[in-house]
Structure 1
Amino acid sequence: MSRKSKINPIEKVKTVEQYLDGEIGMFQAGKELGVSYQSVQKWIAIYKSKGPVGLLDQPQNSHYSKELKLSAVNN
């Protein structure tokens, strides 16, 4: 089952880029899109780590290997 966001991915990218360019604040962006500022904060983190592609709708949840999970827990 896919995860579908109520905000268009292109709109997310546009909003994050406006924030990074200093054109809009996190609270204002959230208010204009009808989401919490925490959502905008998450989009910014995703954008910084994965780029604009990271904000596209994902067809399914990510799957991680057992080794990677154990490594994350042990560190």
Structure 2
Amino acid sequence: MGKTRKEFSFNEKLEAVEKYLRGEGSLISIAHEYGVHHNALHQWIANYEAMGPSVLLPTRQKKRYPVALRIAAVEAYLRGEGSLRELCMKFKIRSRTQLINWIKLYNNGHIDQWEKKSQRRRIRMTKGRATTF
């Protein structure tokens, strides 16, 4: 069986973050108390400090970042201007994993896909192939 991913409400996230910021426990003890991995809690804290409590609200759509911001963040990382987490806070990126993926694309020369992807439109199939059983 695969792992089940627990969804946390806004109030649970906010309570955990504020408990840590008030100094009512260590990162690991609070993460254990809420049943979340300590890296996830650390990301919630970093996002909260960079963008405020509204960033902890659940979202239905993926956040889209402008191409210029992506390039600026990746180049800042490659110049050594900070750690992944620090740059995520600086550029208001919600996840370190997102920045890591951009760095991989940038290093592999696939940066041109960012422009194409943002300009591409979905084309729906109007004709289908006839199938028989």
TM-score in same-fold range (> 0.5) = yes
AA partner of residue 14 (structure 2): V
Q: Does residue 62 of structure 1 match 2:63?
A: yes
Identity of aligned residues (%): 34
The residue correspondences of 1:7-46 to structure 2 (distance < 5 A) are: 7-46=8-47
- Paired residues, what number? 72
Aligned-partner residue type, residue 74 of structure 1 = E
Distance 1:73 1:34 in 2: 32
CA drift at 1:35: 1.2
Code of the residue aligned with 2:20 in structure 1: it is: Y
- Structure 1 window deviating more from structure 2 (59-68 vs 49-58): it is 59-68
Greater shift in the superposed pair: 65-74 or 26-35: 65-74
Superposed CA offset, 1:7-33 (max 9, x none):
111111111111101012111111111
CA RMSD of aligned residues (A): 1.8
Q: Deviations over 1:42-67 (max 9, x none)?
A: 11001100111111112211112222
Q: Which residue of structure 2 lines up, in the alignment, with residue 52 of structure 1?
A: 53
Determine which structure has more spread, i.e. the larger CA radius of gyration: 2
Q: Which has the higher contact order (CA 8 A, sep 6+)?
A: 1
Amino acid at match of 1:11: E
TM-score by length of 2: 0.49
Structure (1/2) with the larger helix percentage: 1
Structure 2 CA distance, aligned partners of 1:63 and 1:32?
Answer: 32
- TM-score normalized with structure 1 length: 0.81
